[in-house]
């Protein structure tokens, strides 16, 4: 395990975002005990905000493209990242930060690179050395994922991306990966995560998915108005609600339509 604890010098709430979020007092010091740590909570509870702050503080590569320090969408998060202190067993330069909504941008950038290589191959068609270099770069992009990621469905491409880019010895921060996956793909994704956690990888994942959250022996931080609390899988609101709904969806709908 790489990251073992985190703390925040601002251990009380303030009026300004993100220090106004209810989890801030819980950050006086928190220990990370497992190679898989989940953040779970309702929308607006701050789980993605904390994940983004850890990504900035740990200097992860941003799969979304722009360096995290220069990403304008994260400008409001940077003060929280600057106030955080990360405790390490050991550090790794391997790994990345990925928000599910940034994946399309990543695919499009790869497509633009391939088009750029094609254009340079045409431009330097008489120069075998330049043409060979461009062909090699184009093959390297496609070989990494088997074929052009745009040829996959969204969920298939997302899963192929993780299979290709998660390597042993890395710290990976992933925000709501279930957005791209069917239930079966969610299970395939979390199986990959569990297998790679056994190969010296560490993961911090924000998720709403009961399937993804079910990873054996994972640590779970539950975000609520009371802050962050350690939680067991079976006690999570997401899990108990989903179980109750699936056992009797008609009962829910009768009550909803009655109201």
Tens-of-pLDDT digits for all 259 residues of the chain?
899 999 998 767 788 899 999 999 999 899 999 999 999 999 989 999 999 999 999 999 988 667 888 888 889 999 999 999 999 999 999 999 998 767 555 554 555 445 555 555 566 666 566 555 556 555 555 545 444 544 555 557 788 889 988 999 999 999 999 987 889 999 999 999 999 999 999 999 999 999 999 999 999 999 999 999 999 999 999 999 999 999 999 999 998 898 6
- Give the C-alpha separation, 24 to 34, whole Å: 22
Query: Considering the entire predicted model, what is its pTM?
Result: 0.81
Class in CATH terms, 3-103+168-258: alpha beta
3-class SS shares of the chain: helix, strand, coil, % to 5? 50, 15, 30
Beta strands 61-62 and 84-88 are unpaired
Q: Residue 6, Cβ neighbours under 10 Å: how many?
A: 20
- Give the C-alpha separation, 77 to 195, whole Å: 32
- Give the C-alpha separation, 211 to 67, whole Å: 31
C-alpha distances (whole Å) from 123 to each of 20, 50, 113, 114, 131 are: 55, 47, 15, 14, 9
Q: What is the pLDDT of residue 146?
A: 47
H or E element that contains 221: strand 219-224
Domain boundaries, the chain: 3-103+168-258
Q: What is the pLDDT of residue 149?
A: 45
Beta strands 36-41 and 202-206 are parallel
């Amino acid at each position: 395990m790489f990251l073992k604890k985190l703390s925040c010098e601002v251990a009380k709430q303030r009026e300004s975002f993100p220090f106004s979020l209810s989890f801030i007092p819980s950050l006086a010091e928190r220990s990370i005990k497992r190679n898989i740590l989940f953040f779970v909570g309702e929308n607006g509870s701050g789980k993605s905000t904390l994940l983004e702050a850890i990504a900035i503080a740990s200097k992860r590569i941003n799969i979304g493209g722009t360096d995290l320090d220069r990403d304008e969408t994260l400008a409001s998060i940077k003060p929280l990242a600057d106030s955080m202190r990360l405790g390490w067993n050991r550090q790794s330069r391997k790994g990345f930060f990925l928000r599910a909504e940034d994946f399309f941008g990543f695919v499009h950038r790869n497509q633009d690179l391939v088009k750029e290589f094609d254009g340079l191959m045409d431009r330097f068609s008489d120069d075998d050395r330049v043409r060979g270099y461009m062909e090699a770069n184009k093959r390297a992009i496609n070989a990494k994922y088997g074929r052009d990621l745009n040829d996959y469905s969204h969920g298939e491409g997302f899963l192929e991306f993780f299979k290709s880019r998660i390597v042993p010895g890395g710290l990976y921060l992933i925000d709501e990966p279930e957005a791209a996956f069917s239930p079966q793909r969610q299970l395939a994704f979390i199986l990959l995560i569990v297998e790679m956690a056994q190969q010296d990888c560490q993961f911090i994942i924000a998720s709403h998915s009961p399937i993804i959250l079910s990873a054996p022996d994972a640590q779970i931080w539950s975000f609520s108005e009371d802050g962050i609390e350690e939680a067991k899988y079976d006690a999570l609101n997401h899990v108990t609600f989903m179980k109750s709904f699936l056992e009797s969806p008609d009962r829910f709908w009768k009550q909803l339509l009655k109201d």
